[in-house]
């Protein structure tokens, strides 16, 4: 007949074994979920990268191969806003301690007016943002129609007050949509001026976002932040390069991030960074 002490020891061992069994099951489920996630990233990553840069659809399907560096999210997909919009950005704190600028004017145009830019002209765009200046060297020889469009919109004040609506610290910064939805456009479509097949998108390249079909760009543009982050070729019109601006880019990359509608990873800055103005210099 077992003593009370031995009975208690037996019961304690049974409880311990049951706890260990449950812990092993949880660990197995975590490993399985991680392996499935890795498989999805490997198989679907390049396709979803293309979807992310769709200027006509602000809501990519799921996750991409990019990850955030540093900032932690404060929302989950279930808590994501029903839509991103200028009003959503305006309700947030402004990034880098800056003041919120006046709201965009909501301009639309039938077409871009010819700005008279020679192919060999030196064209510089200085974007004053909430976190500092971003300087872009535009290349009218590479993409004359798209450079002309960007310069026209900048001189008309189209970008003034617009939020940078998508940020992936190891992928791109995307802006140029005054509505903040990823669906806005200037009322016309600049023609595609894609680079040659096999062209890569390197760190500092500036290109037009589009919605996939031919001639579906508008006003949205992106700046490439990481080497080989775009595993696609000649599907976006490159029209310039980032010059310097390291401190500003670093400050934008460090912003805390949340989810846009249907984004599988954080891409919406939770502190709004605005394009306050764009100054064009031609030499």
Read off the pLDDT of residues 21-69 as tens digits, 9 standing for 90 and up: 555 554 444 344 344 333 333 334 444 444 556 554 433 223 333 333 3
Tokens of 246: 């390291």
Exposure string (b/e) for 13-25, b if CB count within 10 Å is 16 or more?
eeeeeeeeeeeee
Tokens encoding 48: 């979803």
pTM over 0.85: no
pLDDT tens-digit map of 237-263:
999 999 999 999 999 999 999 987 756
Work out the pLDDT band at 282, boundaries 50, 70, 90.
Answer: very high
Residue 26 lies in a domain: no
Q: Which domain holds residue 222?
A: 53-282
Token pair listed for 164: 């940078």
Whether 210 contacts 188, CB under 8 Å = no
Domain total in the chain: 1
Residue with token string 């999805």: 40
Cα radius of gyration (the chain): 24
Residue 103: strand pairing partners: none
Domain assignment present for 64: yes
Instruction: Identify whether 277 is part of a domain.
Output: yes
What is the C-alpha separation between 209 and 52, in angstroms, rounded? 9
Neighbours of 242 (CB within 10 A): 20
Answer yes or no: is 5 within a domain. no
CATH number assigned to the domain comprising residue 203: 2.40.100.10
Quote the CA–CA distance of 177 and 265 in Å, as a whole number. Answer: 20
Identify the DSSP state of 217.
E
CA distances from 88 to 63, 166, 188, 231, 262 (A): 22, 13, 26, 31, 16
- 176 with 102: CB under 8 angstroms? no
């Amino acid at each position: 007949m077992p003593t009370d002490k031995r009975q208690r020891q037996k019961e304690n061992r049974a409880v311990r074994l049951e706890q260990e069994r449950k812990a092993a099951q949880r660990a197995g489920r975590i490993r399985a979920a991680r392996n499935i996630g890795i498989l999805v990233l490997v198989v679907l990553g390049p396709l979803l990268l293309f979807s992310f840069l769709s200027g006509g659809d602000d809501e990519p399907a799921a996750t991409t191969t990019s990850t955030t560096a540093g900032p932690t999210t404060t929302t989950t997909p279930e808590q994501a806003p029903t839509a991103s919009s200028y009003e959503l950005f305006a309700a947030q704190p402004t990034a880098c301690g800056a003041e919120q600028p006046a709201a965009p004017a909501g301009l639309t145009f039938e077409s871009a007016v010819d700005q008279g830019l020679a192919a060999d002209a030196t064209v510089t765009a200085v974007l004053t943002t909430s976190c500092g200046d971003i300087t872009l060297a535009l290349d009218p020889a590479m993409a004359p129609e798209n450079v002309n469009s960007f310069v026209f919109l900048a001189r008309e004040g189209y970008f003034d007050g617009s939020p940078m609506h998508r940020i992936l610290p190891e992928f791109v910064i995307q802006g140029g949509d005054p509505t903040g939805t990823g669906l806005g456009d200037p009322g016309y479509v600049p023609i595609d001026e894609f680079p040659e097949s096999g062209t890569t998108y390197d760190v500092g390249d500036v290109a037009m976002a589009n919605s996939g079909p031919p001639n579906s760009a508008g006003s949205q543009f992106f700046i490439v932040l990481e080497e080989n982050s775009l595993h696609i070729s000649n599907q976006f019109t490159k029209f310039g390069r980032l010059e310097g601006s390291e401190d500003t880019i670093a400050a934008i990359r460090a912003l805390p991030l949340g989810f846009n509608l249907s984004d599988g990873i954080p891409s919406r800055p939770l502190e709004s960074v605005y394009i306050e103005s764009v100054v064009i210099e031609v030499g």
